[in-house]
Amino acid sequence: MISSVLPTYNRAPLTFVKGEGTWLIEEDGRRFLDLGAGIAVNVLGHAHPALTQALTDQANALWHTSNLYNIPQQQTLADKLVAATFADTVFFTNSGTEACELAVKMARKYWFEKGQPDKTDIITFSGSFHGRSSAGIAAAGSEKMTKGFGPLLPGFTHLEFGDHDALDPAITDKTAAILIEPVQGEGGIIPVPDQCLKGLRDVCDEKGILLILDEVQCGVGRTGKLFAHEWAGITPDIMMVAKGIGGGFPLGAVLATEEAASGMTAGTHGSTYGGNPLGCSVGSAVMDIVSEPDFLADVNRKAGTLRQKLEGLVAAHPDVFESVRGSGLMLGIKCKVPCGDVVNAGYANDVITVPAADNTVRLLPPLSISDEEIGEAVARLDNAAASLAA
Ligand SMILES: *Cc1c(COP(=O)(O)O)cnc(C)c1O
């Protein structure tokens, strides 16, 4: 008999009942070090006092009205995001895949309003992940995500990730935009080299097409900059954000330049919950902390420490691990044994990691992780690896 919860997930047999900073406490009292952060969501760990305060203050005042009316908390967060980034304007969603929907609609509407309605095609890359909505799966294009789901949303051209020669011939007079994650997350923590992001920006400028970045996983301080594209010294025209921006409350956003957003006038898009007072209050509290230069400097310092320790871990277990890659506190360990075995061995040693494609284990700890916790986490991973080698 089917379970009362639709069985679309392969769940680990763990039930967490409480979170404290970098720690998750299971129902039997076991304390796990959380290097997954709900897949890069809990950027400030669990039950951060500033976020709990922002949420409960707002919950006591007002939960929901509607985008029929002014939502001051939305205005405040949008102002913060605009002040801190390339963007001139922000639309709030509840998730990453809804941000993908709007990014695609916005790019197509832009060209429609420019009198070029045939420019609808969006170039994407193998190994990418843009969520599970119809646009999201069509954008990623992999058989794993699309098979059986009928006619896909048309207008996506899929290129091999890293195949530079494929790009030029793929751009036609139908091309509206290029969509890429600066660091592939689900694909196995694969950063796009700065030079390549610069190259994509140049191609977009040259051919007059839009650059859409999906920073749903790599954004919000994860790589040690507020947004990952800052490392390459470029800016997108449109950017998708979610996961970390709500610190655990469902919140997403599309950031855009005034030019790229110019087709999106009143009535062209909307959401019942998107930008609700609760989410935006928490998002503002997240931004206040994560956008501080000192906070980001500390993320970079800790990222250096974790990376160095992981290099040591890989060297100590050459039969289990192959290499470390990633950016900031978005790190992946490519494995020689099945990565699911490493994740399970981590569970047995009270440390949480997340599997990804390309046989990679993801480490996406809260950005607030302490030096002591980094040391303890790597010690637990060391025990996990030893149990696999034995
Ligand atoms: C998680 C993710 C999404 C989808 O976000 P949801 O909130 O699950 O819809 C899209 N893009 C990237 C890069 C992601 O990591």
pLDDT per residue over 8-67, tens digit each?
A: 999 999 999 999 999 999 999 999 999 999 999 999 999 999 999 999 999 999 999 999
| Atom of ligand 1 lying closest to residue 242 CA | 7
The pair of structure tokens assigned to 180 is: 């890429």
Nearest residue CA, atom 11 of ligand 1? 130
- Give the contacts of 283 (CB within 8 A, at least 6 positions apart): 77, 245, 246, 247, 249, 251
Inform me whether the pLDDT recorded for 390 exceeds 80. Answer: no
**Which numbered atom of ligand 1 lies nearest the CA of 39?**
1
- Please say if the pLDDT value at position 364 is more than 90: yes
Residue 332 in this model has a pLDDT that exceeds 90: yes
**What mean pLDDT comes out for the span 169-190?**
98
Residue 74 is predicted with a pLDDT of 98
Mode of pairing for the β-strands spanning 360-363 and 354-356: antiparallel
Contact between 84 and 241 under an 8 Å Cβ cutoff? The reply is: no
Under a CB-based contact definition with an 8 Å cutoff, are residues 189 and 155 in contact? Answer: no
Check the CA dihedral 53-56-59-62 and report its sign. negative
Q: Ligand 1 centre and the CA of 187: distance in Å? A: 12
For residues 197 and 225, the answer to whether their CB atoms sit within 8 Å is no
Calpha distance 25→350 (Å, rounded): 10
Give the position, in ligand 1's atom list, of the atom nearest the Cα of 131.
4
**Among 104, 90, 95, which Cα is nearest to 39's?**
95
* 216, 227, 238: residue to mutate for ligand 1 pocket, most atoms within 8 A of CB: 216
pLDDT at 304 over 90: yes
Residue 266 has pLDDT above 80, yes or no: yes
Q: What is the pLDDT of residue 370?
A: 98
For 247, which DSSP code?
Answer: B
| Residue 97 alpha carbon, nearest atom of ligand 1 | 9
Token couple for 158: 């899929």
138 CA from centroid of ligand 1 (Å): 14
Calculate how far, in angstroms, residue 186's C-alpha sits from the geometric centre of ligand 1.
Answer: 9
Span from the CA of 211 to the centroid of ligand 1 (angstroms)? 18
Q: Interior CA angle at 346 toward 341 and 348, to 5°? A: 95
Write the CA distances from 251 to 147, 186, 247, 278, 371, integer angstroms.
28, 19, 9, 9, 29
φ/ψ of residue 91, rounded to 5: -115, 135
- CB distance 260 to 242 below 8 Å: no
Residues with CB under 6 A from ligand 1: 95-97, 129-131, 181, 185-186, 214, 216-217, 242-243
Identify whether the C-beta of residue 168 lies closer than 8 Å to the C-beta of residue 200: no
From the CA of 214, give the closest atom in ligand 1: 13
Q: How far is the CA of 233 from the centre of ligand 1 (A)?
A: 24
pLDDT of 389: 80
> Nearest C-alpha to atom 15 of ligand 1 is from which residue?
217
Name which residue sits closest to atom 10 of ligand 1, judged by CA. Answer: 130
Mean pLDDT of the chain: 98
Give CA 126 to chain center in angstroms.
Answer: 17
Ligand 1: centre distance to CA 345 (Å): 26
For the chain, percent of residues with pLDDT exceeding 70: 100
Q: Is the pLDDT of residue 6 over 90?
A: yes
**Phi/psi-derived region of residue 127, left when phi > 0, alpha when psi is between -120 and 50, beta in every other case:** left
Identify which of 130, 218, 241, 271 to mutate to test ligand 1's pocket (most ligand atoms within 8 A of the CB).
Answer: 130
Its pTM stands at 0.98
Closest C-alpha to 222, from 376, 104, 362: 362
Element (H, E) at 252: strand 252-256
